[in-house]
Structure 1
Amino acid sequence: MIIEELRDLIERHVRPDMSTPVEGVMIARDEVSTLEASMSGTVMALVAQGRKRLALGDRVYEYGPGQYLVSSLDLPVTGQFLDAGPDRPALGFGMLLDPAAIAELLLQGGAAAMPDGRGTPPSGIMVSEAPVQLLDAVLRLLRLFDRPRDLAMLAPLIKREILWWLIVGEQGATVRQLGLAGSNLSRIAQAVRWIREHYAKTFHVEDVADICGMSPSAFYRNFQAATAMSPIQFQKQMRLQEARLLLAASPNDVAGVGYRVGYDSPSQFSREYRRQFGTSPSQDALQLRGGELSLAAGLA
């Protein structure tokens, strides 16, 4: 059975940092069921064992063995494995989604016959059942880890095949927009990058809309559809996640960390931090210093 062989290959080849010999491909093993905040990355993630629940804004996604998730934007998410443990760890495969590679496949595969992606973008995260063609391609890619002589030649071909099954699959509309330079999703991706780079600064939605070449109303509508958040809510998520990373390095400087991520009011920083992470910045800093919390969620 494909899923069983996927589990065996992941268990055999997994590394602590999730890296593999193939650029842009990751495999993960996780025994922890802790709720964790992270950035999703622009990725396809396939579960071979275990179940994961992921929250994006007010949307909740759950996926398990034989299902895959596509994240078309690098989004702030909160997730946890529901039943992972030492005796039955969660196992997964991930592959970064390269817009240039998708664009090339669209040109070669007849993009003119596919929707052009000019409408409202789909949600930035979606979950589907993996078709057998996709599972088979992932399996053949992992098998190459045992054949290093063939890896360099065949792995790029199988990665293209995986992308193709995503392009023509149930989530194809989302993946295709990644490869279309003029799509609304590509414009929202530009906005996401800009907010991530300027998260500590106050901005006006109209200014970001102008950067993306959209009217303020169209920008707000498309941003909300793709990210399940308003641009200001997205900025707040970025500030709080960055604050948590900074607290891990500077646990005794809570006020300074709040100021560095853009908060002028320590009380507002503490209030929003507690709402996001369930504890105050000072309490969380102590736990982070003791290594009790994880800051990475692994594959989306």
Structure 2
Amino acid sequence: MHAVDRETDRFDVARAKGASAQAPYLALSLAINPAGVTELLAEQAGALADAPAFATLSRADHDPALCDPLRRLLDLLDAPRDAPMLAPLVRREIVWRLWASALGPAPRQVGLVDTHAARIGRATAHIRDLDAETMRVADLAALAGMSVPGFHSHFKAVTTMRPVQFQKQVRLQEACRRLIAAEEVARVGFAIGYESLSQFSRDYRRLFGAPPGRDAAAIRAQLVPEPALP
């Protein structure tokens, strides 16, 4: 499963075990605009209970009330004349349905400016910008406006990882993106901060299940154009 951020052309790569051409794994990824969430929060203040603490990665059972607008948004892919007018309304409905679902706390946090999640978001954005530079947790904590112990606690609550684990995963995802673009394995490993090519290969295989060169070749062979949601 491959997703491309249309703003930055960055690849996000995930793996679905057991999927095949005969039994494909189907998924939908929908980005939520924080500005739209903030606007809805202002309009509907008090309409929903305060959001409790939440994990960044959450799941819930099938909800027909949420699946219906998602289906209508997909249908607009085949209605280019209607999409500019109707897609924003359907997206707004999806956000509202999410709020009313078991996943409600997470999308509500997206629209809040000074939550712990927002502060950790500033730190994760900084980690993504570091490339091969050295990461200092004290600097990240200061950026988030937290003590170092508090930062460690909130970082793991939001990302489910420690900062060093998050940085390693970000770097390996960047390596995957570069390898898909046919860059040399050794050059990529050194570019993302590894001093040992063998360590890079071990870490890459541990995350993605195959050596860097073989994995990238397999992904390139499977890539197909994906339609952009309206």
Assess same fold via TM > 0.5: yes
Q: Which structure shows the bigger proportion of residues in helix conformation?
A: 2
- Aligned amino acid, residue 21 of structure 2: G
1:155 equivalenced with 2:107 (yes/no)? no
CA gap 1:228/1:294 in 2 versus in 1, 3 angstroms:
farther
Secondary structure of the structure 2 residue equivalent to 1:140: helix
Which of 134, 148, 151 aligns to 1:216? It is 148
Query: What's 2:199 paired with?
Result: 268
CA gap 1:291/1:177 in 2 versus in 1, 3 angstroms:
closer
CA distance, structure 1, for counterparts of residue 165 and residue 209 of structure 2: 18
- Aligned amino acid, residue 154 of structure 1: L
Equivalent residues of 1:116, 1:183 under 8 A apart: no
Task: Please show how residues 38-53 of structure 1 align to structure 2 within 5 Å.
Answer: none
CA distance, structure 1, for counterparts of residue 14 and residue 153 of structure 2: 23
1:61-119 Cα deviation digits (max 9, x unpaired): xxxxxxxxxxxxx9x77421634534x544444321111111111111115853266xx
- Aligned amino acid, residue 137 of structure 1: P
Query: What's 2:50 paired with?
Result: 115
Bigger Cα displacement from structure 2, 139-148 vs 97-106: 139-148
CA gap 1:163/1:271 in 2 versus in 1, 3 angstroms:
same
Equivalent residues of 1:199, 1:235 under 8 A apart: no
1:257-290 Cα deviation digits (max 9, x unpaired): 21110112333223322323344445556x45x9
1:104 equivalenced with 2:39 (yes/no)? yes
- Aligned amino acid, residue 68 of structure 2: D
Query: What's 1:95 paired with?
Result: 30
Query: What's 1:202 paired with?
Result: 134
Q: CA shift at 1:122, angstroms?
A: 2.1
Structure 2, unmatched stretches of 5+, are none
1:12-36 Cα deviation digits (max 9, x unpaired): xxxxxxxxxxxxxxxxxxxxxxxx6
Which of 125, 131, 140 aligns to 2:63? It is 131
- Aligned amino acid, residue 202 of structure 1: T
Secondary structure of the structure 2 residue equivalent to 1:221: helix
CA distance, structure 2, for counterparts of residue 80 and residue 250 of structure 1: 23
Secondary structure of the structure 1 residue equivalent to 2:15: strand
- Aligned amino acid, residue 79 of structure 1: R
Q: CA RMSD in A?
A: 3.4
Equivalent residues of 2:133, 2:193 under 8 A apart: yes
Secondary structure of the structure 2 residue equivalent to 1:245: helix
- Aligned amino acid, residue 221 of structure 1: S
Equivalent residues of 1:99, 1:179 under 8 A apart: yes
- Aligned amino acid, residue 96 of structure 1: A
Structure 1, unmatched stretches of 5+, are 1-35, 42-73
CA gap 1:224/1:39 in 2 versus in 1, 3 angstroms:
farther
CA distance, structure 1, for counterparts of residue 86 and residue 55 of structure 2: 33
- Aligned amino acid, residue 82 of structure 1: G
Secondary structure of the structure 1 residue equivalent to 2:59: strand
TM-score (norm 2): 0.80
CA gap 1:247/1:150 in 2 versus in 1, 3 angstroms:
closer
Which of 176, 187, 194 aligns to 1:256? It is 187
Q: Which structure shows the bigger proportion of residues in strand conformation?
A: 1
